[in-house]
Structure 1
Amino acid sequence: MILIAGLGNPGQKYVDTRHNVGFMLIDEILKTGGFSELGSSKFQGELFKKGSLLLLKPQTFMNLSGNSVKAVNDFYKPERIIVVHDDIDLDLGAVKFKKGGSSGGHNGIKSIDALIGADYERVRIGVGKKQQGQDAANFVLGNFNDSERKRLGEILPYVARAVEALLSGDIEDIAQKFTIKRGCSWSFT
């Protein structure tokens, strides 16, 4: 079994925020169909299943994402965990893959690391870099503007294809093939 956890914050207030790009990717994958919803209270998140694939959108708010990931991990004991999250150190549209490592200051990742360790795969989606002196919390909780949303509409299907390839591949190979170091304005289709 493989668990893909897309990080974000629950509630209408946060739907279009930079911090919710992990939720957005889970929604993109759900468009492929065939998933059944497994409920939310036991796992502190929205959990979906198709075959041996689990998709999770923690409903604990970002800083407590580890609670939801741990609940699913303890119950299903997946062989692999892939966490998709926003990264403010990457240009909008940049995508990077790695296994393990530090949280990079991301509170959702810190929460997961504290409860299950850091030995899981990560898909980092660049949401743009904050301006000098800008508060990081306000930046990640800010909404994407219209042009950023358009670019996000291009990158999310690309990342969904990369994650699909990751399910049956090695993260090093996927990183070689799908990493985008700088955001770009060309179409990913």
Structure 2
Amino acid sequence: MTSWLLVGLGNPGPEYERTPHNVGFMTADELARRARASFSAPRGMRAWVAETIISAAGLGVPPGDKLIIAKPRTYMNESGQAVRLLAGFHRVPTDRLVVVHDELDLDVGQLRLKIGGGDNGHNGLKSIRAHLHTGDFHRVRIGVGRPPGRRSATDYLLSPIPAALREDLGVEVARAADACEALITRGLVAAQNEFNR
């Protein structure tokens, strides 16, 4: 049996639960909900982990592959520690790693899938690249938009999602989960053709 590792990026703690920086966590939660899989905190993994068989998750073919859904318990800046441990323990190659994260340079309502690239100032991606010594993994980038006016990006990302954006971001989280399913079961190009817009 081969495995896929899907990591939703975010910060642990109730104060960060509904912030733009945590849309990766929200997507992981949605995928686990669809799979009826529960998160646990395996010793030494530094992440909450839910496991399912892809066919059992309603993800279609190829059946029998294992899907490991993870949310690092480190803060965003140290996400790479958890990803390295999980990928090593489950023997997941980088071409079967999917990282879901917020993207300031995309407006709310925009979603992009790609493989490889830089970190574009995203500290979670920077940490993963440093710990894996490569950036050649899949990314599902969820647009959260730039903060209005002179508000700092950090303040915007770590504050509760503005009421005006909550519904739209909720829709985007569900669409990101759909995109993850398509990527894993149908491949990157097919998923890009459907979701990159």
Q: Report the TM-score, using the length of structure 1 for normalisation.
A: 0.90
Q: Displacement of 1:38 after TM fit?
A: 4.6
Code of the residue aligned with 1:16 in structure 2: it is R
SS of the counterpart of 1:53? strand
Match of 1:105 among 121, 141, 144: 121
Q: 2:15 & 2:154 partners in 1: Cα distance?
A: 15
Gaps of 5+ in 2: 54-65
Q: 2:119 & 2:84 partners in 1: Cα distance?
A: 17
Q: Residue 78 in 1 paired to residue 95 in 2?
A: no
Match of 2:135 among 118, 121, 137: 118
Pairs aligned (count): 180
Match of 2:22 among 3, 20, 25: 20
Code of the residue aligned with 2:158 in structure 1: it is L
Equivalent residue for 1:137? 154
Question: 1:109-142 CA distances to partner (integer Å, 9 max, x unpaired)?
Answer: 0000001111100000011112354322112112
Match of 1:60 among 74, 85, 88: 74
- Aligned-CA RMSD value: 1.4
Question: 1:26-71 CA distances to partner (integer Å, 9 max, x unpaired)?
Answer: 1111111332545244110101100200000001000000000001
Gaps of 5+ in 1: 181-189
Q: 1:103 & 1:30 partners in 2: Cα distance?
A: 26
Equivalent residue for 1:158? 175
Name whichever structure is richer in helix by fraction.
2
Code of the residue aligned with 2:73 in structure 1: it is Q
SS of the counterpart of 1:168? helix
Q: Report the TM-score, using the length of structure 2 for normalisation.
A: 0.87
Aligned partners of 2:182 and 2:190 also within 8 Å: no
Aligned partners of 1:48 and 1:56 also within 8 Å: yes
Does 31-40 or 158-167 show the bigger shift?
Answer: 31-40
Change (3 A) 1:105 1:168: same
Map residues 83-102 of structure 1 onto 2, 5 A cutoff. 83-102=99-118
Identity %: 37
Does 135-144 or 59-68 show the bigger shift?
Answer: 135-144
Change (3 A) 1:133 1:164: same
SS of the counterpart of 1:96? strand
